[in-house]
Every structure is written in C-alpha cells, then in structure tokens.
Structure 1
Amino acid sequence: MLVWERPEPPDRPVPAPLSRERIVQAAIRLADADGLDAVSLRKVAAELDVGPMRLYGYLATKEELLDLMVDAVHAEIRPTGDGWREVLLSLAETTRRAAHRHEWLADLLGGRPQLGPNTLTGGEAVLAAMGDVDLDVVVPAVSAVAAYVIGAVRREITERRAERESGMDQRQWQVTHGPYLLRLFATGRFPALAAVVHDGPHLDADQTFRTGLDFLLDGIGARISP
C-alpha cells in the first residue's frame, strides 16, 4: 500500500507526539538549511527528539519521506487564472518561487510521477483550465511547460549554489573572466558569440525566465488557435 493510503499509527504523546506532518516538516527544515544530504531518518528523528525506529510506523523508506516532502511543497504551488495561458503561467511561476524557497526541490523535480494529494490537486487544476482543448495538444503542452520550468529552475539553483561555493556573484565572475573572453573574441574565431556578448540583451533571471516562458506559451497558443 502506498504511503498516501497507509494509515498512521495511533498517537503516542509520550515521549513526544508524532505524525507524518511533523516528520515531513522537520525533514523540510533540515533540507532548507543544508540540502538533501542533511535529510535521513536518523537526522529527522533527532530533530524531533525521538528514536529513529518510531519513524518507521509512519513511513517505510527515505524515498517515501522524499515523496512526502515534495508533495508538501506542492501545497505552495497553486495554479490560478482565467484560461489556459494564465494557468500555465501561474503553474510555472509558482513552481519557480517554491524552488527558490526550497532549493532541494530542484533536485527532485522531473523524477517519477508524484501521486500525493497536493500534486494531484494542482495537476487537476491545470488540466481543467485547458477547457475543451484537444488532449493531443493538452498533454504535450503541459509537459513542455513542465520541462521548461524544471530546466530553468535547475539552472538558476545551480548558479546560486556556484555563487555561494565560489564567493563570487555574477558581476564578480564577469570581471574575473571578461578579459579572457575579450582576448578570445579578438581572434575573430567566434563572431556570433562576440555579437551576443556585446550587443545582445542582458536580461536578469526574472526577465530571462518570463521571456522564454512567453515564447513557449506563444507556440502553444499557435497550436490551440491556428
């Protein structure tokens, strides 16, 4: 029986009250602070001041815990709006914001299908918003938006982690590596790249995300209303 259907054991207030929700929230706190490497059943039990064996009445494996964590964060992803475009836009932006609040989510997005109640509720809202659009368009359209968001979010989170590890923000990186690129472009071997660096738009992360998403939604719109 999947963890979503398995009943919790009876409450035992001594030595400490416990529930799946408390376990999941403790795991999220650890992951928010120190990443997924900080999450184990032993560490979560210590966070809750209980013995590790008590957790096994509520979940069987760490994989189940990760599934519960992802679904808990999906409660923060609530697509809203009138019509398919607004809802897909909301899905993308709320997913991105949730991943920025919980960087570890970027490592788990795009894995096996999530079957938790919050995830399914969000999926239902998105599909319902597509209205009477043919399913041959709906399915690849929603998949395309999900793939775009996962890729964009993972790139952003990777950049944030790299900045923390190197102690160098984007501006400092450009100052450090700029002279090398200028010398390389001066050879004339990379004229297209040189043109992009010198004359291309220099968008911040929010603008980059929204512009790419608009391109994708415009393409979906062309398929829906040729």
Structure 2
Amino acid sequence: MPVQDSCQRQAAEAATGDRDSHLHLRYRTLYRMDTPHGSESVPVWERPEPQPRAAPVPLSRAKIAATAIRLADEHGLDGLSVRKIAKELGVGPMRLYDYVINRSELLDLMVDAVYAQIAEAGQHSEWRATVLAVVRRTRDAALAHEWFSDLLGGRPHLGPHALAVGESTAAALSQAPGVRGIDDLQRALGALNAFIIGALRREVTERRTARSTGTELTAWQASLGPYLTRMLETGRYPTVARLVIDGAHLNAEETFNHNLATILDGITSHPHP
C-alpha cells in the first residue's frame, strides 16, 4: 500500500473516534510501504511529505514539530495534544494526520529536532573536546526543553539527527586511550549515557520542584538547617557530616561539569580486568 494512501486511511479511521486519542497510540512508529524488495516498515523520517494542498496554511512535519515543541516547552508533554497543535497552526486537527499517524511519531519528530540542536556541537580535533561539546550541548537542550529529559533512557532515538549525535559521540570515545575495542566502547558509552540521563533528570526535577513549591534548593536546605545540625551533632552520621560541612557546595553547572570530567577520566584509564 502506498504511503499516502495509508496515511489517508489512518486519518479516516481517526475521524470515527477520538481524534486526540489516536495520537496516543504508543510504540506504533513504523509504517508499511511497498518497495522493490517487498513490503517494508518505514519510519516517519523516511516517508515522503504529503503532496501540497491548495490550502491557506501550508504544513510540513518540521513545522508541526516546531509548534509541538513550543507547546511542550510551555505546558509539558501532558499538555500536548493534536487539537492544541492544530489550533496553534490555524488548521483543522485532521490535517495533521496526513503527516503523523500517532503520538509516538510526533514525539519522534520533536526529539529529533532537539538532536539537531545538539548536533551543532560538531566534531573537534581531540576526542575529549568533542565529547564535552556534545554532552554540554545536550544539557543546554534539556534545560531549554525540559520534556526532552523525560524521553531519555527508553528505547534508543533513531532519527537522523539523533544518529548523527550518536555517531559523533561514539567516534570520539573510540579514540580515548582506555577504549581498546568494541566492548570497551560499549561500556564507555553506557557509563556516559547513564551519567547524562541521571544528571539531567535530577537537574530538571529540581527545577520543576522549585517552581511547584516556590522554594529554591538553597532556601529548602536553609529551612532544614537546624534539624540537620541537631542530627549531625549526635555523632551517628560522621561521613554525612563531613560531606555537609567540609564538602564543596557547587552549583548545578559546576557539579555537572565536575562529574562529567570524572566520567571521562575513568574512560581514559585502562579498565580493570
């Protein structure tokens, strides 16, 4: 079945039910298309754009993704719906189903648009500089689009820009002194990705908590200061006391950069047998 015909069929089916719920069908991100090699699953990035219509408002997947990103930046993923996107674009909701068949495809497009921003970090002459640039750019993107951190850590992102970022990072890490083969490279990528996901989710969660409670982290810590002091003075928590009293109190960016350097130092060293 040709792609355009299949898109139209999906849109017609959506018209018989809840149009927004159709976008919430999860995991169905591949599409069937007849090729010289038989029927193949074709993801949204490889499907051709629908034929232009004689309509007052021209659409494209890039335009839909950009609008969805703006709405998600403002309202989060829970506040994202096809009706809101269509209203923002000034079109009827059904027009969007020519371009994306479900919520998973919409999120795929949004995520890959963010990866396009990360890919601008580019390649540097030295492996560590490349990794630092990519990871710091990833943090910038996650703080600008907090919903992005919610989508990290699941199944791999396979859009063209996500693949470009993955290639850049893997190629750089493969040049690190402690990476001597494919197994070392997989472990290095796993350690780096685990750090990125954990660090970004923690920082974004703290930002959200500060907004929802109206209390910044430092103010929250100060409010619990007397209690914590009493607990530490009992002598039952000597190591925690050292961390609180003698440890460096870095801001979020300093903490991120310091821990990132620690991860890369570990990758650089030769792994234990």
Which residue, out of 131, 146, 150, partners 1:88?
Answer: 131
More strand by share: 2
| 1:190, distance to aligned residue in structure 2 (A) | 1.3
Would you say how many aligned residue pairs link Structure 1 and Structure 2?
A: 225
| Structure 2: gaps of 5 or more residues | 1-41
Which residue, out of 195, 202, 215, partners 1:148?
Answer: 195
Superposition misfits of 4+ residues, deviation over 4 angstroms? none
Q: Verify: 1:175 aligned to 2:216, yes or no.
A: no
Contact map agreement 1:88 1:142 (CA 8 A) in 2: no
Tell me the equivalent position of 2:81: 40
Q: Distance in 2 between matches of 1:13 and 1:117?
A: 30
Contact map agreement 1:27 1:44 (CA 8 A) in 2: yes
Q: Structure 1 residues 175 and 128 mapped into 2: Cα distance closer, same or farther (>3 Å)?
A: closer
- Give SS of 1:223's match: coil
Tell me the equivalent position of 2:156: 113
Q: Distance in 2 between matches of 1:17 and 1:107?
A: 31
Question: What's the TM-score once normalised by structure 1's chain length?
Answer: 0.94
Question: What's the TM-score once normalised by structure 2's chain length?
Answer: 0.78
Q: Structure 1 residues 133 and 13 mapped into 2: Cα distance closer, same or farther (>3 Å)?
A: farther
Tell me the equivalent position of 2:181: 134
Tell me the equivalent position of 1:50: 91
Max Rg structure: 2
Tell me the equivalent position of 1:192: 239
Aligned-residue RMSD, C-alpha: 1.7
Q: Distance in 2 between matches of 1:82 and 1:148?
A: 24
| Structure 1: gaps of 5 or more residues | none
Q: Deviations over 1:170-214 (max 9, x none)?
A: 221122111111121122221211121111111111111111111
Q: Distance in 1 between matches of 2:188 and 2:54?
A: 48
Percent of paired sites with the same residue: 51
Q: Distance in 1 between matches of 2:209 and 2:153?
A: 22
| Structure 1 range deviating more: 147-156 or 192-201 | 192-201
Q: Deviations over 1:93-147 (max 9, x none)?
A: 1110110111110100121111111111112222333349421211211221111
Q: Give the residue type in structure 2 aligned to 1:11.
A: P
